[in-house]
Amino acid sequence: MLLGTVLLFLPIATPGQEQPEPGAGQEHEREELGVNRYTAPRIEKVFAQLDQLKPLPFAQLWRPFPGGNALGREQKGLIFGSLVADGFLIVTAQKQGLVDELGKILLKEARGLGIGDRVMRHSASLTELGRAGNWSAVRKELIATQSDVERAMINLRDEKMAALISLGGWLRGLEIGSAAVQAEYSPERSRILAQPELVDYFAEELNTLPPTIAHTPVFEKLRRGVQEIQDTLAKAGEEGLPPAQVGSVYTEARELNLAIRGGK
């Protein structure tokens, strides 16, 4: 089922954090195309969640950008979403030297999806803003980049790809967030991870893939892994998740993100 109620379940930023969301004026266009704002979680909502979990352990979480593996289009969509989440990690750590490389790899992955023209200007802007150290603007540009890619998919009536891009961003965000909770554990911080309705949405999306995609090794692994995360998050109560379960979520999310990039 493509139309979910995901955004209802994501953490809401505090009033001081409220900003006009890039792409917010696109809702009318999305509705005209038969896709409402609940189709898939936007990456800025994942960013808002990670804002609540700072500090983020950059040294533990950083990994090289993906190489030139020959991967399928659906897998490239997952990678694109995960790269935008990587961008948040770069922004938070203010790693100026990585922004230029991020812009280039986003453009490369967008070309693999057939929408390089929608990302070209964002790539150049990310480089310029990163060199200037304008981190709040880099963050907004990342949000705008994913928003433009999502809109391109909707225009192509490929809502399933938009959902996979969101899944890639969410999984990488979950890895980052669970690592942050492990590094500085409290029941309150662990509750931020406990969003069973959100994982329910992605589990359902994975169950509606065409058989030719669903039965490939990476998507079979994703389905099993997301189910395990779903089972773990369903155990969270008012007290949140105990440290062992936070560790389980981190390990599973990390393994899935490695698989998405062509690892084991």
C-beta of residue 240 within 8 angstroms of C-beta of residue 188: yes
Quick: pLDDT tens for 199-212: 888 999 899 998 99
C-beta of residue 187 within 8 angstroms of C-beta of residue 240: yes
pLDDT of residue 22: 53
Domain boundaries, the chain: 38-260
pLDDT of residue 182: 96
pLDDT of residue 214: 92
CA separation for the pair 215, 207 (Å, rounded):
11
pLDDT of residue 154: 81
pLDDT of residue 215: 93
pLDDT of residue 237: 79
pLDDT of residue 218: 94
pLDDT of residue 179: 97
Q: What is the pTM of this model?
A: 0.83
List, for the chain, all residue ranges whose pLDDT scores fall below the cut of 50. 1-21, 23-38
Evaluated on CA atoms 88, 92, 95, 96, the torsion sign reads positive
pLDDT of residue 41: 64
CA separation for the pair 165, 146 (Å, rounded):
9
CA separation for the pair 52, 46 (Å, rounded):
10
